[in-house]
Structures are given as structure tokens and as C-alpha cells.
Amino acid sequence: MRLDKLLANMGYGSRKEVKVLLKQKAVTVEGEVVKDSAMHVDPVKQNVAVFGERVEYVEFIYIMMHKPPGVISATEDRYDQTVIDLLDPYVQHFQPFPVGRLDKDTEGLLLITNDGNLAHNLLSPKKHVPKWYYAKIDGVVTEADIEAFANGVMLDDGYETKPGELVILSSGAESEIELMIQEGKFHQVKRMFEAVGKKVTYLKRISMGPLQLDAELELGDYRELTEEELSALIKHNA
Ligand code: URA
């Protein structure tokens, strides 16, 4: 890959800023000062350094975000801010995308990566990746709803959902629940409750496979996955 692209991708500034670094003789390849921004390098095999510090080449990035409401789970949107707009330029350089979608008004765990294979596996209907949601429901949630979700309910388009696990945290005029689903149909949680005559008034995803939303992350905050989280995710997908 081109040297300027590598350095820009690894957070050493824009291609213009990288040119300045090269002019300053700050960049070496295998110990030799290099000034040619178009030079082709193999960042895995060759020792590329800036001010004497080796550039660690990273191909993939894995971000856990606490998605805030009002933001779209997409890479770009004409009208609204997207989850990618919330990332800093270093992370954006990796051209990441959200793994699946949360509705504009839904909060919670969103994985953002540029690893297409991992994303594909996590979203594959064959993998049945369990996703847990916390929700507030307008209406009394009952044992009958637990049973209905466990058996699968029919959505408004005739689709029969796979078994879901419903846990009632509190039941009243406004109920609080947690629900595990194995699929990711459009508006699935909201439509499952509609199927039993109830309305979701607040929705937050709290886990996806082995990944749990980090309670330390405020709305709109994000961080890279830890090595443990990433290996658990890869193992889960294998
Ligand atoms: N189900 C929904 O209804 N909305 C979401 O954002 C996620 C799951």
C-alpha cells in the first residue's frame, strides 16, 4: 500500500500532513529516511517508523457504541446525523459501518466495524445470534405474553418469529421487560409487542451474542472492543 495512505489510515494526519512529515525526514522504512509519499510498502513485513516509533498496522477496527436516540444506524444520511458522524476522524479512516440497525429512537449497544466477514456472520439468520433488549411497554405485560413470545408470534406481514425469551421486570400500566430475540427483522421488538396488542415506548439493546453494553459508556460514547470481547465474538461466530 502507498506510504501516505498507510500513515493517514493509521492516524498520522491527512495525506497533506503526512507529506510534511516526510519532508521533515520523520519517516523511515527499514531504517532509511523516505520522502516519497507514493512509495509502496508492506506494513506487516517492513518496519515503517515515524520519529523512530514503529507504525503498528491495523486492518480492522471494532467499536462498541452506546447509540443515542435521534441518530441513524447508517454510514450516511441526507437529513440526520449518523452513528459514523459521531466517530473521530481516526476511526472514520477505517471506513467502518454499523453491524445491523437500531431504529432512530432506539438506544444501546451497537457494534461498528470494517470487518465484513464478522459483520456478515453476526447478521446471518443461520447463526441465531441472541440479542437482549430492555424495554418499557405501555400496558400490562403478562405470562400469556411470555408464552406467546416463546412460541413465536406472527408479525403484521405474516412472518412467524423464532422463539423469544421474555422476562417481566415489572408489570403495571407501564411495564418493564427484557426480551431476547434471535433475529433482526425490521422493528422486530416493537412489532412483536404490537402482535400482542402493546406498545414499546422505550427500547435499548443491552447485548448481542457475547457482547454486553459497557455500563460506563454514556449515550453517544464509544470505545474499541477489548481483546477478550473480540475473541469471544470471533469464537461465538466460528
Ligand atoms: N427492534 C426494534 O423494534 N427496534 C430496534 O431498533 C431493534 C429491535
Nearest atom, ligand 1, residue 192 CA? 3
Asked if residue 9 has pLDDT above 90, the reply is no
DSSP state at residue 34: -
Its CATH class, for the domain covering 3-54, is alpha beta
The whole-number pLDDT of residue 211 equals 97
pLDDT 10s digits, 154-211: 999 999 999 999 999 999 999 999 999 999 999 999 999 999 999 999 999 999 999 9
Q: Annotate 141-201 with DSSP letters as a single string.
A: --HHHHHHHHH--B-TTSPBPPP-EEEEEE-SSEEEEEEEES---TTHHHHHHHHTT-EEE
Q: Which positions are catalytic? A: 103
Nearest atom, ligand 1, residue 205 CA? 7
Q: Which amino acid is at 16?
A: K
Grade residue 11 by pLDDT with cuts at 50, 70 and 90: confident
The whole-number pLDDT of residue 165 equals 98
Contact 65, 222 (CB under 8 A): yes
Contact 237, 230 (CB under 8 A): no
Measured by CA distance, the residue closest to atom 4 of ligand 1 is 187
Nearest to 195 by CA among 148, 137, 236, 143: 148
Its CATH class, for the domain covering 62-125+211-236, is alpha beta
Contact 39, 29 (CB under 8 A): yes
Q: In testing the pocket of ligand 1, which one of 105, 157, 187 has its CB within 8 Å of the most ligand atoms?
A: 187
Asked if residue 238 has pLDDT above 80, the reply is no
Asked if residue 15 has pLDDT above 90, the reply is no
Fold match flag (3-54 vs 62-125+211-236): no
Q: What's the gap in Å between 63 CA and the centre of ligand 1?
A: 20
Provide the mean pLDDT of the chain: 95
The whole-number pLDDT of residue 191 equals 98
Q: What's the gap in Å between 223 CA and the centre of ligand 1?
A: 22
Please tell me the pTM assigned to this model: 0.89
Grade residue 236 by pLDDT with cuts at 50, 70 and 90: confident
Asked if residue 125 has pLDDT above 90, the reply is no
pLDDT 10s digits, 74-85: 999 999 999 999
Q: Report the percent of the chain where pLDDT is more than 90.
A: 89
| Residues near ligand 1 (Cβ within 6 A) | 102-103, 106, 187-190, 203
User: What are the residue ranges spanned by the domains of the chain?
Assistant: 3-54, 62-125+211-236, 130-208
Q: In testing the pocket of ligand 1, which one of 134, 190, 191, 199 has its CB within 8 Å of the most ligand atoms?
A: 190
What CATH architecture applies to the domain 130-208?
A: 2-Layer Sandwich (3.30)
DSSP state at residue 42: -
Q: Say which residue the cell 443515542 belongs to.
A: 68
Q: What's the gap in Å between 70 CA and the centre of ligand 1?
A: 14
